[in-house]
Amino acid sequence: MQIFTEIATARAQIADWRHAGLRIALVPTMGALHAGHLSLVDLARQSSDRVVVSLFVNPLQFGPNEDFDRYPRTFARDCEQLEAQGAHALFAPPDAQMYPEGREGQTRVHVPGLSEMLCGQSRPGFFDGVATVVTKLFNTVQPDAAIFGEKDFQQLVVIRRLVRDLNLPVEVLAGPTVREPDGLAMSSRNAYLSAEERAIAPHLQLQLQKAAQALRQGAEVAGVEAGGLARLNAIGLRVDYFSVRRAEDLASPRPSDSALVILAAAYLGHTRLIDNLSVERAV
């Protein structure tokens, strides 16, 4: 596996692959890799000839009181895992490569509407940071396909809208959420959980499952949302949102909409957990 820290050298190698007629896939990450990330590398290998993984802890995705400084950084272990998984290149640029004029002077990319709801409401500017860095990665790597996890469902919808609206020639593929044996969605931030918090955390997915079953049985959306929020708070989580949305665009569902997604975010101590579950509702 080749490792690039500069945009110019990464572009030169990728250009050689492209001239050879090879299909290129990009898997963007912030490192601290786990089995969920590695499953995306597998999906990339199945759909392409060359797999580029990016590793960049993007400061534009973190608010002033969030965990940028303590976000897990495990570069050596990440490299070992990616090489074993069959990635062909790792693009791991320093801050100065991605934001040479500094963070404040960086042109931002904004996806209106989708960026202000759900996670965007409680984390203002977060999706601008996501959209900006993904656009820069797409311009650097110029992949034929990019693979993102369904665990970050709102992010996936934002990126699909970004690609559509800016006419970017990138196929966006989604990998299913990878879970621990007890159902907790894998996340780099799970390492923050205490033993007591870790025992509570799987209830987030359990309540999503209960909500999905209720929707399949014809329950009203408002009641499902209120019930899920109340039960999670009672268990000991501090709920940010528990929301049923239309899967296609995260709009509030109409009675005629069948393809839905239930999204939840909640705090356990200082750790913010997110999860979601898609559900087909009879209409």
Q: Is 63 annotated as a binding residue?
A: no
Q: Is 84 annotated as a binding residue?
A: no
Residue 48 is encoded by which pair of tokens?
């392409």
Q: Is 97 annotated as a binding residue?
A: no
What number of other Cβ atoms are within 10 A of residue 46's Cβ?
11
Q: Is 151 annotated as a binding residue?
A: yes
Q: Is 37 a catalytic residue?
A: yes
Listed residue (256, 263, 260) closest to 280, CA to CA = 260
CB 73 within 8 A of CB 57: yes
**37, 88, 110, 203: which is the annotated catalytic residue?**
37
Q: Is 2 annotated as a binding residue?
A: no
Q: Is 256 annotated as a binding residue?
A: no
| 222-248 per-residue burial string, b: 16 or more CB within 10 A, e: under 16 | eebbebbbebbeebebebbbbbbbebe
Count the helices and strands in the chain (H runs, E runs): 10, 9
Q: Is 35 annotated as a binding residue?
A: yes
Q: Is 32 annotated as a binding residue?
A: yes
Q: Is 37 annotated as a binding residue?
A: yes
Q: Is 98 annotated as a binding residue?
A: no
Helices (H), 48-118: 75-85, 95-98
Q: Is 194 annotated as a binding residue?
A: no
Q: Is 36 annotated as a binding residue?
A: yes
Listed residue (180, 230, 176, 187) closest to 43, CA to CA = 176
At residue 2, the 3 state secondary structure works out as strand
At residue 217, the 3 state secondary structure works out as coil
Using CA atoms, how far apart are residues 133 and 45, in angstroms rounded to an integer? 23
Binding site members for (R)-pantoate: 61, 155
Binding site members for ATP: 30-37, 149-152, 178, 186-189
Binding site members: 30-37, 61, 149-152, 155, 178, 186-189
Catalytic annotation, residues: 37
